[in-house]
């Protein structure tokens, strides 16, 4: 019962594409934005004590789970979630293919495990948030395009309707129309295609979203905040 607290926890999973198409300026922008966002979280007294962050990446090493700056086995007994005031971002590199489906399956298991832990410990928590960011299409381990993501649609739809998570699907860079259609199917309420790689602005939007817990904001408020962000950044 050590985790019992009157301050509600806000689990946040960053599910990030680190495939070869992210090499160069995009991965540099991601690393810089992660560092700056971490500093901003620490500077906010509410977010720093409420938000807890886990990172899942998908690229050349498959789906990788991170606890702060270090990768951990996906079946490790320790939670990968780190409270924002203690969180240190990993230094990410880009290579390989795009095993998005593997990463999302891991993310769903991760969220379920964490909410179970919090409930068992008597800790208050709010609906977990998942942010998926990619510039490409899901592939298998050999780099071939795959349609196995379609099996995730009813899973994620059920999780979102049951209010077990709030899911954002963001396409960046040169994501194709077909790639964006995948995100629309996976995240029907919160999807966007952004020009370039505005990670800094995206992470700040996530801070707004997870910070709404202090106002007990409902779904309409989250939708309005995302719509404002999307209208400012949506690619034509």
pTM for this predicted structure:
0.94
**Which structure tokens are listed for 122?**
């008597």
The predicted pLDDT at position 233 comes to 75
If phi > 0 it is left, if psi is from -120 to 50 it is alpha, else beta; for residue 28 that is: alpha
Summarize pLDDT for 15-24 with one digit per residue, the tens: 999 999 999 9
In angstroms, the Cα distances linking 43 to 6, 37, 55, 88, 89 are 21, 10, 20, 14, 15
Lowest mean pLDDT across 125-129, 134-138, 231-235: 231-235
Point out which residues pair with 167 in neighbouring strands: 130
Nearest to 105 by CA among 152, 158, 147, 141: 152
CATH of 10-233, one of 3.10.150.10, 3.40.50.410, 3.40.50.880, 1.10.490.10: 3.40.50.410
Pick 58 or 221 by higher pLDDT: 58
Summarize pLDDT for 30-45 with one digit per residue, the tens: 999 999 999 999 999 9
Pick 181 or 220 by higher pLDDT: 181
Residue pair 134/171 in contact by the 8 Å Cβ criterion? yes
């Amino acid at each position: 019962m050590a985790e019992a607290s009157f301050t509600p926890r806000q689990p946040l999973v960053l599910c990030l594409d680190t495939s070869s198409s992210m090499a160069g300026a995009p991965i540099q922008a991601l690393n810089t934005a992660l560092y700056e966002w971490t500093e901003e979280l620490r500077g906010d007294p509410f977010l720093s004590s409420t938000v807890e962050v886990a990172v899942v990446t998908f690229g050349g090493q498959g789906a990788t789970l991170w606890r702060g700056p270090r990768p951990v086995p996906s079946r490790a007994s320790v939670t990968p979630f780190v409270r924002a005031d203690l969180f240190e971002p990993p230094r990410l590199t880009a290579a390989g293919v795009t095993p998005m489906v593997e990463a999302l399956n891991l993310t769903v298991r991760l969220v379920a495990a964490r909410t179970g832990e919090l409930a068992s410990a008597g800790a208050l928590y709010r609906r977990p948030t998942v942010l998926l960011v990619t510039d490409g299409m899901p592939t298998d381990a050999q780099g071939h395009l795959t349609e196995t993501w379609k099996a995730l649609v009813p899973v994620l739809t059920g999780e979102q309707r049951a209010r077990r998570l709030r899911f954002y699907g963001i396409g960046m860079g040169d994501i194709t129309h077909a790639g964006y259609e995948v995100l629309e199917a996976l995240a029907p309420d919160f999807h966007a295609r952004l020009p370039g790689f505005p990670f800094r602005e995206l992470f700040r939007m996530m801070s707004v979203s997870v910070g709404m817990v202090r106002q007990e904001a409902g779904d309409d408020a989250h939708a309005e905040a995302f719509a404002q962000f999307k209208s400012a950044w949506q690619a034509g």
